[in-house]
A and B are shown apart, each in its own frame.
Chain A
Amino acid sequence: MKKEKVQVRICVGTACFVQGGSDLLLYNDFVDPAIIAECEIEGCSCLEACKVDGEGAPYVMIDGEVHSKVTQEEFARLLTQAVKNA
């Protein structure tokens, strides 16, 4: 059976986008291509997470779990981990 790809959603709501989320869209420049190949990365509408706690932008959802304050390094790390666990 083919392995399910890791589902990655980068929040590109305005608040996330202007607070660093836009940087994550450059994922091709800083994430290992082998890891990217295992993931399905997409921009998505506001995850509404900012309305719960206002200070965690930018948010990223990986396989249903929401992560806050995601930097480029953190993004690469989370993806690697998710691919390993998949």
Chain B
Amino acid sequence: MLELNNQYTAMKRRIDTEVLKLFFAGKLDELDRLPFTIIPKDRTPNRCCIYKERAIVRYRIMALLGIDIERFDDEMKPLSEYAKEVMQEDPPVLPLLTTISTGCYGCPPDQYRISDACRGCFARPCMANCPKDAIVFINGQAHINEERCIRCGKCMDVCPFHAVVHIPVPCEEACPVGAVKKNEKGVVEIDHKNCISCGRCARSCPFGAIAERSGLIPVLKMLQSGQKVTAMIAPAIEGQFPGTLAQIRASLLKIGFDKVVEVAEGAAVTTEHEADEVVRRKGEGEGYMTTSCCSAYMELVDKHLKFLDERYSRAFSPMIYTSRMCKEQDPDNRTVFIGPCLAKRVEAARRGGVDGVITFSELAAIFMAKGIDVREEEAADLGDTSAFDYCRQFAITHGVADCVLSRVADPASIRVLPINGVDKKTFRLMKSWEKRAPEVDLVEVMCCEGGCIDGPGTIVKPAVAMKLRGGTKAATPVASVKAPL
């Protein structure tokens, strides 16, 4: 997967912010000018030319407006027209991801290639270890016979000169379930029937040819129309912004949310349920149980691992419990989940009960467009969080299991297996459970490696977030809030 900070992310943040500035100024009709302001005439392009760059900026804006580019791309239609439609009626949530075919480079198929570094050595371990006799020597250098090669990578492992290179197709390589493929023209296509909305492909493409359709505009419309909206902040939010949780809360109130509630509160309910359930299942000798809070994992079960249907915990996700609590307290309020996750939008759409889902990076764009500086805000009172603050760990791998164990009478008796990130390999492992069940009691599944703090909607690297979480000593630069210059 791409390193989080790169030119594409920077561009994305800039586009999001500029669009929101226009939104807040009530000037969405000027949207058509934006690709030209962002990509000016004198820019040195990173793509082939500024015209293509402008076209891609246009598509990014469409994705931010929530438009399904695959189906509703009309190149003659101005962005302002799209915006007008979106302002009148919210576009449907699914499918979550959309491809920008113009942006796709059309990478050559996944392959191994032998570079000039090959010395044509005497031992020739590549040839000796190739299971398909695909290596031939021409003019004293090794070559791979493409027709025979099965892309096992053995030659790469054994070459003493590191002369073999693996050239992957990043999006295909990233997709755990093989739902991203290239069509006959060599351009990326997503098989939405199989896609689990984990967002890995979108994070992997260095050309930005896969985008998530944002749900930001419907949320902003709610806020603008004066409806009362409760912001539900995911446990991963701590460390994503400069400043403390209390300051993040204050900033959210400032942009117009009526209330701010921590999803950790709902996570405490999930924890209690899962703790009861895992003990009961163990007592009845039913075998392993998996967690159920990761939305992309629930999609995975639904679309690819049907046999796990009776294995996952019946507890709802923290988002659902939190939303219920909010609606019990304030029946008139609408609820918006703010998290690091794309798949949560899918969960919200399928299960209902949550009125909107946005990501941290979209929230950052709101802050930037409104000129709100989180760490300059007067800290808002968080209230008494002692009942659920241990559940803030839900955002980190092994955190859910730890919470559940802390609510079990005899934690040592529960054997835990964390699935830290669902990729091709762990997907294969999970498939094998159908025939041979893992010898554990609790399987904690998180689709993103490291947990939600490395989700596709995050802003900072997990290492930074970890440093800033819980007000540890490493966070000193941020702790010195009002330090005079």
Contacts and interface: CB of A to CB of B under 8 A. Distances in A.
Interface residues of B, number: 30
* Chain A interface category by residue count: 20 to 34
B483 A22 contact: no
A30 B468 CA distance: 18
Interface of A: 9-10, 12-15, 17-20, 22-23, 25-26, 29, 41-46, 55
Given A13-B242, A13-B373, A45-B375, A18 B485 contact: no
Instruction: Give the secondary structure class of A's interface.
Output: mixed
3 closest A-B pairs (Cβ-Cβ)? A43-B477, A22-B460, A12-B242
Given A9-B485, A12-B242, A13-B242, A43 B361 contact: no
A14 B483 contact: no
Main secondary structure of the interface of B (DSSP, over half): helix
Interface of B: 5, 10, 13-14, 241-242, 361, 364, 367-368, 372-376, 459-461, 463-464, 467-468, 476-478, 480-483, 485
Contacts, number: 76
A43 B478 contact: yes
A26 B483 contact: no
Nearest to A15: B368
B5 A14 contact: no
B44 to A, nearest CB: 14
A45 B243 CA distance: 11
A26 B485 contact: no
B13 A19 contact: yes
Nearest to B372: A14
B310 to A, nearest CB: 42
Contact of A46 (B5, B376, B459, B461): B376
A44 to B, nearest CB: 6
B364 A42 contact: no
A14 B364 contact: yes
Contact of A14 (B368, B463, B485): B368
